[in-house]
Structure 1
Amino acid sequence: MPVSLPVFPVRTLAALLLTALLAPACSDDDDETTSPGVPDAVAFTQAGLYPEGVQYDATDNRFFVSSQTRGAIGQVKDDGTYTQFADDAVLISTIGMRLDEGRNRLLVAVSDPGYNTARTSTATQRKLAGLASFNRANGQRLSYTDLGALRPGQNHFANDIAVDAQGNAYVTDSFSPIIYKVDVQGVATIFLENAQLAAPAGAFGLNGIVYHPDGYLLVAKSNEGVLFKVPLTNPTAFTKVASAQNLMGADGLLLQDNNTLQVVTNAQAKVYRLTSADAWATATVSGTFSTPPQYPTTLARREGADSYVLYSNLNALQASQNPPVSVFTIARVKF
């Protein structure tokens, strides 16, 4: 039976054709949803700063960045303007950070790898693990907790921070096989300590950490290139996340959603997007973003769907490059 086709007036047909031409093209290879007006990259100039951590503060439209050489916390606007946000004598080298927006505080991991010549000492170098908290609005220090004092005599390096729904902070130690727990009152305890989490002397073990709303932590171990799942109610029952992807040099983590995790691997100069269909018993790679060879370290979430990776250039610092790197970049991740 013949089908009658609709007849459009010439003017209407022209409008339909124009709409089709102007409509954005869709691709199965690009499943990103990005916010309009966000920059692809933010570059800022601070000679020898060597930031390791980054967080995005949507309230004031700024990135927070740490510094292994100065200790002070900086803030960076989209136009590349850098200003100091907070500083304190306890900030020898600042590493990972976590913006706890609900409690209006910025949590900062503090260590001493020996790069802040103005503040390092034999008493703290490779022995310091601390957690500092600052008021997000004005940079006033709220608290400081000495984590390394829980295990005196060991080497320590507080690296990254996760915060659970109750406000408890969990901090990884790269030089000791420890995850610390610090409650909202600032009381610190050993949450997990296990020889399986140890790394050889001079290597970085535990590194990036995120809280999963289903009640567990996901933790990266750099020297092995693996992830661990650590239940909050029974941390000694931690398990390794099975994956065919080697994550050697795994550093910062970002939980994109309950089933999607982004992992920075500075040794590989890549950001991997992992997905899991079984509550992180296993994981597979669903995307890869290659970075310049500028030692990417960690990620910040911005306006929901966008994530940004920090190019820290820490390899130049470790090699005592002279002159030091002066321009650092925070780049939008595109899988």
Structure 2
Amino acid sequence: MSRSAFSGRRRPVRLPRFVVLAALAAGLLGTLPGCSKDEDITTPTVTNPDRISVPQAALHPEGVQYDDANKRFIVSSRTKGVISTVKDDSTFAQLADDSRLISTIGVNLDAGRNRVLVAVSDNGVNPARTTAATLRKRAALAIFNNTSGALLNYVDLGGLPAAATYPNHFANDIAVDKDGNAYVTDSNAPIIYKVDPQGVASVFLTSPQFDAGTAFGLNGIVYHPDGYLIVAKANTGTLYKVPIATPASFTAVTNAAGLSLTGADGLLLTDPQTLLLVSGSQSTVYRLSSTDAWANVRSTGTFATGAVSPTTITKRGSDAYVLYPYTATSPRFKIVKVRF
């Protein structure tokens, strides 16, 4: 285009200062990455953290379950008797309590029925609630609503006529079958109790093989979907397979590798062929497997916890978390992801 195309020279147009500044700002913003108004700049959320440290002094939890629907752990307390919840950020809240809860031990979350089942005992570590009448005599099952924490049922186990012949009792761990029946181990008597969905209690199985004398006997228990229980005896490390339909035909699981499982406490069945076992006295979580319906068992891995008195274990998605209560006077407790 030649200069002859213009009829004359024009004066340059001066834009107001605020218009210029606005244009410059818009240009600069356009060069900054990730600054869309539709995007939020947030700190990434940690899912399934490696460990949760809970600053609750002298709570001494024994049992733990993960409540996936509410994204929280449920824990018991030997020293206070309460049932509480823990979030990933260590937020701690009380879920349930009752004056009869002297020491709460094992916990089972029956999520499908919205129930929390808790084994109740008294070994003298809760001075606010222990009495001469309950010390080493209390064995009960308390059942709470998982949403409200309301007490649904309280079932006396140690007072059953078939259990009264044994002087001492300690309700320890709980398994729930597909029909809602609960099975509770007694560590001070050679008994597995049964409580049906209506709250009717009975002695499901007793045997001299379960007797541990003055030591801790029956402890961890899990329900296998093929219709039997797997039960651990702490003082010997023996595992038992107990058919639901014919409990008297129970058998000892053969430990093919001759592995010592003494101190066996919490059990977790992660799939039909894999069982995680916590040995508190050995500060170890064992991964066990069976390819013959738990007639035989072998070890496929271990996780060393250190001297933290590990007790029980729970499943969270594809992960497992073990409880570190430390001691009855510790200023905190931890829930730690297991890594084999």
TM-score class, shorter-chain normalisation, is 0.7 to 0.9
CA distance in 2, matches of 1:47, 1:232: 40
Instruction: Find out whether 1:334 has 2:330 as its counterpart.
Output: no
What is the deviation of 1:66? 0.4
CA distance in 2, matches of 1:93, 1:42: 23
User: Matched residue of 2:307: which SS?
Assistant: coil
Aligned residues: 290
CA distance in 1, matches of 2:300, 2:306: 20
- Residues 136-155 of structure 1, C-alpha deviations (whole Å, 9 max, x = no match): 11100000000001122520
- 2:33 equivalent in structure 1: none
CA distance in 2, matches of 1:312, 1:125: 22
- 1:225 equivalent in structure 2: 237
User: Matched residue of 1:75: which SS?
Assistant: strand
CA distance in 2, matches of 1:190, 1:38: 39
User: Matched residue of 1:283: which SS?
Assistant: strand
CA distance in 1, matches of 2:115, 2:231: 22
- Residues 246-286 of structure 1, C-alpha deviations (whole Å, 9 max, x = no match): 10000000001000000000010000000001000000001
What is the deviation of 1:55? 0.5
Instruction: Find out whether 1:256 has 2:270 as its counterpart.
Output: yes
- 1:283 equivalent in structure 2: 297
User: Matched residue of 1:196: which SS?
Assistant: helix
- 2:30 equivalent in structure 1: none
TM alignment of 1:93-242, pairs within 5 A = 93-150=103-160, 151-152=163-164, 154-201=167-214, 203-242=215-254
CA distance in 2, matches of 1:267, 1:117: 25
CA distance in 2, matches of 1:37, 1:43: 15
CA distance in 2, matches of 1:200, 1:295: 23
Instruction: Find out whether 1:311 has 2:308 as its counterpart.
Output: no
Amino acid at match of 1:295: S
Where structure 1 has 5 or more consecutive residues not aligned to the other structure, the ranges are 1-35, 318-323
What is the deviation of 1:125? 0.6
CA distance in 1, matches of 2:220, 2:303: 18
- 1:268 equivalent in structure 2: 282
CA distance in 1, matches of 2:310, 2:193: 25
CA distance in 2, matches of 1:238, 1:245: 21
- When normalised by structure 2's length, the TM-score is 0.84
- Residues 201-233 of structure 1, C-alpha deviations (whole Å, 9 max, x = no match): 1x1100000000111000000000110000111
CA distance in 1, matches of 2:112, 2:91: 26
Amino acid at match of 1:186: G
Amino acid at match of 1:93: S
Question: What stretches of structure 1 move > 3 A for 4+ residues in a row?
Answer: none
CA distance in 2, matches of 1:84, 1:99: 16
User: Matched residue of 2:137: which SS?
Assistant: coil
User: Matched residue of 2:197: which SS?
Assistant: coil
User: Matched residue of 1:200: which SS?
Assistant: coil
Amino acid at match of 2:195: V
User: Matched residue of 1:59: which SS?
Assistant: coil
User: Matched residue of 1:132: which SS?
Assistant: strand
CA distance in 1, matches of 2:321, 2:68: 13
What is the deviation of 1:292? 1.8
User: Matched residue of 1:133: which SS?
Assistant: strand
What is the deviation of 1:90? 1.2
User: Matched residue of 2:199: which SS?
Assistant: coil
User: Matched residue of 1:297: which SS?
Assistant: coil
CA distance in 2, matches of 1:171, 1:332: 26
What is the deviation of 1:38? 1.0
Q: Over aligned residue pairs, what C-alpha RMSD do you find? A: 0.9
CA distance in 2, matches of 1:288, 1:211: 22
What is the deviation of 1:74? 0.9
- When normalised by structure 1's length, the TM-score is 0.85
User: Matched residue of 2:159: which SS?
Assistant: helix
TM alignment of 1:74-93, pairs within 5 A = 74-93=84-103
Amino acid at match of 1:310: L
Where structure 2 has 5 or more consecutive residues not aligned to the other structure, the ranges are 1-45
CA distance in 2, matches of 1:41, 1:98: 21
